[in-house]
A = this chain, B = another copy of it.
């Protein structure tokens, strides 16, 4: 393998010392025009590019950022990573990307792996941003990180997110304004998503504000298939009146729930309205287009990297930054049908 082209190779060809080569390449220190010319010629000829490893070992820091997310196959995370990658590249950094596959227990292992790679900092989306030993460890180790999507309630942790509770409230209000009363919140497992929890909280608040009774969340695995989701819905509807609206804790789940509803022979939105969160772009393409909370997903990734660099430069704040969200009504939401059923979900508390 013809690959031993090091700084020494260049120095030899340019007829100078490695120090001069280093100075020319990094623009540090003085160098005669003549020497610089010869060095640049040699560099071009050899196609030399300094090894990041050698550089890192010396400077004790890398141009590498670590990324930890639950999964790449959820467009939401993929899109935030796209933003992270673009912004990192702008700053001459590369990304080490890892996924927990929704197993919070793997967070620590992945972080350790990335730390062993001497990453300059981390961008993460974790299951629980408040009570999290892994983040505690990063804090004490002094390794900078910024959370994305997570919304830590106690301060001291840098995060870029939207106000999830407020978005849940906004979305729920849209349904209430359209006359819905029997609104069910369908969520992914709370244990693996603080977003889901907070969005439910917003839902519950909006319901209470409207004098309606918030139903308990229907918690299910959002990665399961349509058939499983259908079974879950049918099981629930067997013991209580069918809701007129389903608010799902994310768009992928909403698409699956909508499919399950159709499988049950019901129409979306005429019989049941369905909505999600995240604003994945595919939601605009499907029919009926998905009612959702639009989020600047890619921008969130970019902002996270910007703030990470601020933290690295010790000019950053460890605070939660909220980016604006926007209600996208779409076609999967309709006015509530004539309300006939009376039952737990429909009980007016006022």
Contact = CB atoms under 8 A, between A and B. Distances in A.
A173 B287 CA distance: 27
Interface stretch (A8-16, A114-122, A203-211, A303-311): A114-122
Interface in A114-145: 114-118, 140-143
Contacts of A56: 53
Interface in A97-111: 97-99, 101
A10 B86 CA distance: 39
A286 B53 CA distance: 47
A57 interface: yes
**Size bracket of the A interface:** 35 or more
Interface in A47-77: 49-54, 56-57, 62, 64, 71-73, 75
A245 interface: no
B287 A287 contact: yes
Given A95-B97, A99-B82, A141 B2 contact: yes
A153 to B, nearest CB: 27
A282 interface: yes
Contact of A73 (B78, B113, B259): B78
Contacts of A50: 116
B72 A85 contact: yes
Given A73-B78, A78-B75, A51 B284 contact: no
Contact of A79 (B72, B98, B298): B72
Contact of A284 (B115, B116, B226): B226
Contacts of A300: none
Q: How many copies does the complex hold?
A: 2
A89 interface: yes
A1 interface: yes
A73 B62 contact: no
Interface in A282-328: 282, 284-287, 298
Mostly, the A contact residues are helix
A52 B255 contact: no
Contacts of A334: none
A38 interface: no
A96 interface: yes
Given A89-B98, A113-B94, A57 B49 contact: no
A52 B287 contact: no
A62 B285 CA distance: 42
A52 B115 CA distance: 9
A1 B121 CA distance: 13
A97 B73 CA distance: 15
A95 B94 contact: no
B99 A96 contact: no
Contacts of A118: 51-53
Contact of A259 (B3, B114, B259, B287): B287
Given A49-B116, A286-B286, A94 B85 contact: no
A171 interface: no
16 contacts: A2-B140, A49-B115, A53-B53, A72-B72, A72-B81, A72-B82, A73-B75, A81-B97, A86-B101, A94-B113, A95-B98, A96-B97, A97-B97, A259-B284, A259-B286, A285-B286
Sort A-B residue pairs by CB-CB distance and give the 8 closest, nearest first: A1-B142, A78-B78, A255-B285, A72-B82, A97-B97, A286-B286, A49-B116, A259-B285
